[in-house]
């Protein structure tokens, strides 16, 4: 049973500079909802009640966002904006959210390691804010369901275009049942000619606590950062690890093109926006 989710949000977001100079990338909105809210909602929709967000310097806006905002609530109440008031209040009561600081952005692996004490001795989920995934069954729930069956670490994967292979963690795996891969190896951002496949990891994982020791053993890798992928490589030596080609549509919101696509697609699904946006695009 998975009860806890870790959401690393301490990265510098250099791909979105200069915006991320003074605001967390996780707070960039898809129209009117920050990216991180999609991720928190996915965890909650999957039955997770305890959420740990890893933050760093300059990330106060995330904590404020999920906190209550008495002045704003009073203002909305006094002005009769009840619908907005409800929305604002709902956000602060979404889940039990805890914050842990990563003092320096030393890599995704290091960020996950910061949650060790809070997670304790139980399996847990990791969700990255870079990926927004639209799915009938939330992506992390799909991994949790498979974890029930295999009791082994699970990584969400998807086929990526050749020109993008060098931007992903790439697995070498054997499909053992439909969409489930036994992972033989995993390599962080390999050059295309060295990549064992075009199956890339996506920002959703279920881990057992063994990953923490593996991260501790992991030396700095690509970009001089402690890479989660390198820790998984150590884990594979000791334990079976599986990849799952999830069902759903993923937006790489940490990338400018992916971010724009997400905004357009979400706008085209909203009753209050779709007609005008569709007309505008056609024109
Ligand atoms: P990324 O490498 O995509 O995020 O890490 P980044 O470093 O913020 O972005 P760019 O590449 O510079 O534009 C994936 C996730 O891991 C978190 C990020 O916040 C992001 O959600 N992360 C990364 C940490 O929490 N700590 C780190 O040291 C590095």
pLDDT tens-place values along the chain, 283 residues long? 899 999 999 999 899 999 999 999 999 999 999 999 999 999 999 999 899 999 998 889 999 998 888 999 999 999 999 989 988 888 888 888 999 999 999 999 999 999 999 999 999 999 998 899 999 999 999 999 999 999 999 999 999 999 999 999 999 999 999 999 999 999 999 999 999 999 999 999 999 999 999 999 999 998 999 999 999 999 999 999 999 999 999 999 988 999 999 999 999 999 999 999 999 999 9
Cα(240) to centroid of ligand 1, in Å? 26
pLDDT attached to residue 59: 87
Nearest atom in ligand 1 to the alpha carbon of residue 110 is: 28
Instruction: Give the pLDDT confidence score for residue 168 in this predicted structure.
Output: 93
Report residue 43 as tokens: 């965890």
Q: Would you state the pLDDT for residue 30? A: 96
Phi, psi (degrees; rounded to nearest 5) at 199:
-95, 110
Q: Which residues contact 242 (CB under 8 A, 6 or more apart)?
A: 146, 150, 152, 153, 154, 155, 180, 181, 182, 183
- Is the CB of residue 7 below 6 angstroms from any atom belonging to ligand 1? no
Task: Please say whether the beta carbons of 183 and 121 come within 8 A.
Answer: no
Cβ of 106 closer than 6 Å to ligand 1, yes or no, is: yes
CA 200 to chain centre: 14
Place of tokens 């890893």: 54
DSSP one-letter code for 218: P
Could you tell me which of 278, 152, 272 has the C-alpha nearest to residue 205? Answer: 152
* Ligand 1 touching residue 12 (CB < 6 A): yes
Q: Is the dihedral of CA 223, 231, 156, 92 positive or negative?
A: negative
φ, ψ at 255 (rounded to 5°): -120, 145
Ligand 1 pocket: which of 5, 6, 8, 11 to mutate (most atoms <8 Å of CB)?
11
What spacing in Å lies between the alpha carbon of 111 and ligand 1's midpoint?
9
10 lines ligand 1 (CB under 6 A): yes
Residue 68: what pLDDT? 87
Three-state DSSP at 115 gives coil
């Amino acid at each position: 049973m998975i009860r806890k989710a870790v959401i690393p949000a301490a990265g510098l977001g250099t791909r979105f500079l200069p915006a991320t100079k003074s605001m967390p990338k996780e707070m960039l909105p898809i129209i009117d909802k920050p990216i991180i809210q999609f991720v928190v909602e996915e965890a909650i929709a999957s039955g997770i009640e305890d959420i740990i967000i890893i933050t760093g310097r300059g990330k106060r806006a995330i904590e404020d966002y999920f906190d209550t905002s008495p002045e704003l609530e009073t203002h909305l109440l006094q002005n009769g904006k009840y619908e907005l008031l409800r929305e604002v209040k709902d956000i602060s009561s979404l889940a039990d959210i805890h914050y842990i600081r990563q003092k320096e952005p030393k890599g995704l692996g290091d960020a996950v390691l910061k949650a060790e004490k809070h997670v304790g001795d139980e399996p847990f989920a990791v969700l990255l804010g870079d990926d927004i995934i639209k799915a009938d069954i939330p992506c992390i729930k799909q991994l949790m369901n498979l974890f029930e069956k295999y009791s082994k670490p699970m990584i969400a994967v998807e086929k990526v275009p050749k020109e993008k292979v060098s931007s992903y963690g790439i697995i070498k795996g054997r499909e053992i049942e439909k969409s489930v891969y036994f992972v033989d190896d995993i390599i962080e951002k390999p050059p295309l000619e060295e990549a064992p496949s075009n199956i890339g990891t996506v920002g959703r994982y279920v881990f057992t606590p063994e990953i923490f020791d593996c991260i501790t053993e992991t030396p700095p890798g690509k970009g001089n950062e402690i890479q989660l992928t390198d820790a998984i490589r150590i884990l594979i030596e000791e334990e079976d690890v599986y990849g799952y080609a999830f069902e759903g549509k993923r937006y790489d919101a940490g990338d400018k093109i992916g971010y724009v696509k997400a905004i357009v697609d979400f706008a085209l699904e909203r009753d209050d926006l779709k007609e005008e946006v569709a007309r505008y695009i056609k024109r």
